[in-house]
Amino acid sequence: MSFRSSRAVARLSLPLRQVIDRWSAAEFAVLAALAVAAAALLGFFVLVDEVVEGEMHAFDQAVLLALRNPADPQDPIGPWWLEVMIRDLTALGSTTVLALITTAVVGYLLIDGKRATALFVIVAVLGGAIVSFLLKQLFARPRPELVAHLVDVHTLSFPSSHAMLSATTFLTLGALLARVQTRPALKAYLLGLAVVLMLLVGASRVYLGVHWPTDVLAGWCAGAAWAMICLAVMLWLQRRGNVEKSDGTPALQRGPAVAADR
């Protein structure tokens, strides 16, 4: 590249650097949340296309059978206590447990004076439940009958509600908790814990034989996308002063410039 070309590129890149320098950490967080949401939505639509075309059926069957005794497909692999443990883990994604966790968090936020944030949590979790129900009705995929169900189920299969709602709830709460931490290690721990809980709940549904693996993968993608979209909206509302900031600044608090105009 010639000297003149280098100077031209430098002049063009200067406005971009100035824009980036003016961006706050919150704006980068919004961009990151939207990028994750876009990737998760892409994954969901790819899975939908594969499932509708029937191209993932062999994969689904292979995974379910790999988790069962080859001599008896009705018997899950592993010792008896593993099945008990998996049953306990799957309960973490049940409607009852997630509702209790959400209620506890909302109660804490209300007592702490963060009413707008409490409303955000309710909308994020309840909205995720509604989206999950609508998606199930839209695709109307039956539950797998290849192996015995180790827990009772009464709804449709795609996407997995346990996987989607655990992703929505744990990722939303994990992101909220991480934002009030100042140490990167604590932020990483909280977000990592949310992801691990999400993965454990989803994997338990496949082990128990009540979901095809693609149901769970789609639930993870849809739940992560919904949680990240809600997070991006909350960060945007925080910048506008409609939601309390992570440092405890009240919602709708007017800044000095606005107060001076009065």
4 domain-assigned: no
The packing angle between helices 161-179 and 184-207, to 10°, is 170
Over the chain, what is the mean pLDDT?
Answer: 83
Q: How far is the CA of 151 from the CAs of 75, 94, 134, 159, 176, in angstroms?
A: 13, 12, 23, 17, 32
Q: Which domain holds residue 194?
A: 24-65+90-252
pLDDT of residue 28: 73
165, part of any domain: yes
Query: In angstroms, rounded to a whole number, what is the distance separating the alpha carbons of residues 50 and 74?
Result: 27
Kindly report whether the global pTM for this prediction surpasses the value 0.85: no
Q: How far is CA 40 from CA 33, 222, 226, in A?
A: 11, 7, 9
Q: What pLDDT was estimated at residue 9?
A: 43
Q: How far apart are CA 94 and CA 18, in angstroms?
A: 48
CB count in 10 Å sphere of residue 49: 11
pLDDT at 224: 95
* Predicted confidence (pLDDT) per residue in 7-43, tens digit: 544 454 545 454 445 455 667 777 888 898 999 999 9
Three-class SS state of 74? strand
Backbone angles phi, psi at 74, to 5 degrees: -85, -10
Intra-chain end-to-end CA distance of the chain, in Å? 56
Provide the domain count of the chain. 1
> Between 245 and 79, where is the model more confident?
79
Amino acid 81: pLDDT: 93
Confidence of residue 261 (pLDDT cuts 50, 70, 90): very low
Q: What pLDDT score does 26 carry?
A: 60
Q: Is there a contact between 93 and 166 (Cβ–Cβ < 8 Å)?
A: yes
Q: How far is residue 98's CA from residue 115's CA, in Å, rounded to a whole number?
A: 20
Three-state DSSP state, 68:
strand
How far is residue 45's CA from residue 27's CA, in Å, rounded to a whole number?
27
Q: How many CB atoms lie within 10 A of CB 166?
A: 31
Selected residue with higher pLDDT from 97 and 256: 97
Do residues 76 and 139 lie in contact, with contact meaning Cβ atoms separated by under 8 Å? no
- Tell me the pLDDT tens digit for each residue of 121-152: 999 999 999 999 999 999 989 999 888 888 88
pLDDT in tens, 61-86: 999 999 998 888 888 998 999 999 99
pLDDT for residue 234: 83
Q: What is the mean predicted confidence (pLDDT) over 43-67?
A: 92
Lowest mean per-residue pLDDT among 67-81, 154-168, 175-189, 234-248: 234-248
Please report whether residue 229 resides in a domain.
yes
